[in-house]
Copies of this chain bind each other. A is one copy, B any other.
């Protein structure tokens, strides 16, 4: 039986999602507790929708977990146990039986990230500092949004990706748009929404780095267009700090489309990280 868990974390204290020996990671911490609470003979193995890097946050991460049929009779009880034992920087918000054909990674049709930026001399609100990057130069949002439209759609994002052998860097960028928060504690903070069918490694932070270079006037729009045409990683594009980035939401198709979508994605990006 396959289970779906929705999770949120403050990435500050984690060396990213994926298990790495000797480091604290989200995957390792969740798998350890699941194995322990459920007294599993084989360690629990989680598959996630978006493998976040060290320091990147998530508010809408989705994972799946396969368990022998009779292991989990009361998911609500397990959810409560997890909510009590995990540190406060990692929260399982929901735990449900996955519909047939569901795959947290390959069934997903899009991932939505938000990059938060406080531009100008004044540092961000101290209570939001863990999730907002401070950028001392002013960013012109109109310039950013104008440049952003040129990046939308299906293309090779190789210039913005750390390449992996055999992995495609072709993606469909669905949204790339910035706005300034109008009210509340985050007033004035720039939120850049980046939504795509999937992302290759460092892609969101590089896209934001490219846009910020244009928005601060350090580079112009032609430079960005030029960079986008390149097939390989461009070292002139800054990879923005992890701290400002949050995986906000993962989109899935209707239940009867899940299996088809998973087959389709697996074929297309077999060797590619999401």
Contact = CB atoms under 8 A, between A and B. Distances in A.
A127 B91 contact: no
A123 interface: yes
A74 B169 CA distance: 51
A24 interface: no
Chain A interface helix/strand/loop/mixed = mixed
Given A59-B185, A88-B134, A91-B125, 19 more contacts: A8-B125, A8-B126, A8-B127, A9-B126, A10-B126, A57-B126, A57-B127, A80-B121, A83-B122, A83-B123, A89-B126, A89-B129, A91-B122, A91-B124, A91-B126, A93-B122, A127-B131, A127-B246, A130-B130
Q: Classify chain A: how many residues form its interface, as a range.
A: 20 to 34
A90 interface: yes
Give the 8 A-B CB pairs with smallest separation, nearest first.
A10-B126, A88-B129, A89-B126, A91-B123, A127-B131, A10-B127, A9-B126, A8-B126
Contacts of A57: 126-127
Contacts of A8: 125-127
Interface string A8-45: 11100000000000000000000000000000000000
22 contacts: A8-B125, A8-B127, A10-B126, A10-B127, A57-B127, A59-B127, A80-B121, A83-B121, A83-B122, A83-B123, A88-B123, A88-B124, A88-B134, A89-B126, A89-B129, A91-B122, A91-B123, A91-B124, A93-B122, A127-B130, A127-B131, A130-B130
A76 to B, nearest CB: 9
Interface in A71-115: 80, 83, 88-91, 93
Contacts of A59: 125, 127, 185
A138 to B, nearest CB: 14
A16 to B, nearest CB: 15
A96 to B, nearest CB: 14
A269 to B, nearest CB: 29
